[in-house]
Amino acid sequence: MLGFQDPVADAIGLLRPRTVVGPSLRATGDWALRFAPFEHVRIGGLARGTCWLTVEGYEPVFLREGDTFMLGNPPPYVLATTPDTSPRPAEPEWARAENGLVQIGPKSEQDLYLCIGDIAFDDRNAALLTDLLPALVTVSGTDPRGRPLGQLVALLATEVGAQAPGGPLVENHLAQILLVHMLRAHAAETDRPTGWLSALNEDGIGAALRAMHADVAHSWSLKELADISHMSRSAFAASFKNHVGVPPLEYLIQWRMRLARDALARDTLSISELAHATGYLSESAFSTAFRRVVGSSPRQFRNQAQQLEHSAVSEA
């Protein structure tokens, strides 16, 4: 069976996250660093101290110990002791990092300690998540949802500081756990539509989404999904499109094709096996749907993906 039977786990599985943790930042005195734009997601949290975070287009945010933040495809941003401190580029400081740490000012037991992790996604599917995220999400450490995040940041800070065997593996997993918790917090707090992510918090629509992901090969009808949601067909269809952005059966087709593209790119299933796994009675029916959504036949897509992979290996 394709997928993991949970929309968030399924999406992150398709995203193939690649995590780079650190360097972490320890700082005293007056300082301000400007960070350049970057792709996909950066997460961070304060293990100790306070500072200001200013993202272009947003009001400055005061961060305290235990607070966490997530930046999605953001414009330039600044971390500083005060919002009016003149910033300098962060890249030269990051280039001088030693043992996973950037030190600004003299070492102190009372200095700021900030952990940062970058998470990059497979470009073919990155929009599945990044299109749903604002440039900035913050979660307070005093919020009930923020307490476990603060604990994760503390664990991450300990791992980065310890430089112990297996540390990078632990750091990467902690960063990805942080990502999932940040997504949960954002979906629960947002007051604007965020596609499938926010829809998971709607009892009826969320139940239908989970059902589709749990059995992507099933020949779902609008009535079956409406029954799962305890709604009439018309009310369900309207509510689903309002929350997710597309009609329910169109969402199902798009999700099936995302799974198919991933399987074809990795060459894990034959086309006939893939047709069956995504709910099509024949290879020709699957190929027709695939061409309509993707713009090429499954065989053409697989061959192009393999050529790109071989080219990348050769260049490396």
pLDDT tens-place string over residues 56-66: 888 999 999 99
Tokens of 46: 């304060």
Q: Is the pLDDT score of 4 beyond 60?
A: no
Q: In CATH, what class is 198-312? A: mainly alpha
pLDDT at 33: 96
Q: Is the pLDDT score of 15 beyond 70?
A: yes
Residue 5: pLDDT band (50, 70, 90) is low
Convert the pLDDT of each residue in 109-120 to its tens digit: 788 999 988 888
pLDDT above 70 coverage of the chain, percent? 94
Q: 172 near 179, Cβ under 8 Å?
A: no
Q: Is the pLDDT score of 292 beyond 80?
A: yes
Convert the pLDDT of each residue in 159-194 to its tens digit: 877 778 888 888 888 888 888 888 888 777 665 555
pLDDT at 146: 77
Segments in 73-202 forming alpha helices (H): 90-95, 127-130, 146-162, 167-189, 196-199
Q: Is the pLDDT score of 127 beyond 90?
A: no
DSSP string, 230-257: TS-HHHHHHHHHHHHSS-HHHHHHHHHH
Matching fold, domains 7-189 and 198-312: no
pLDDT at 182: 85
Work out the mean pLDDT of the chain and round it to a whole number. Answer: 87
Q: 149 near 185, Cβ under 8 Å?
A: yes
* 24, containing H or E segment: strand 24-27
Boundaries of every domain in the chain: 7-189, 198-312
Over residues 211-223, the mean pLDDT reads 93
- Is pLDDT larger for residue 8 or for residue 58? 58
Tokens of 252: 């199902």
Q: Please give the CATH superfamily to which domain 7-189 belongs.
A: Jelly Rolls (2.60.120.10)
- Please give the single-letter amino acid code of residue 218: H
Tokens of 282: 């024949």
What letter would DSSP give residue 269? S
Convert the pLDDT of each residue in 236-291 to its tens digit: 999 999 888 899 999 999 999 999 999 998 888 999 999 999 999 999 999 999 99
State the Cα–Cα distance between residues 70 and 55, nearest whole angstrom.
Answer: 11
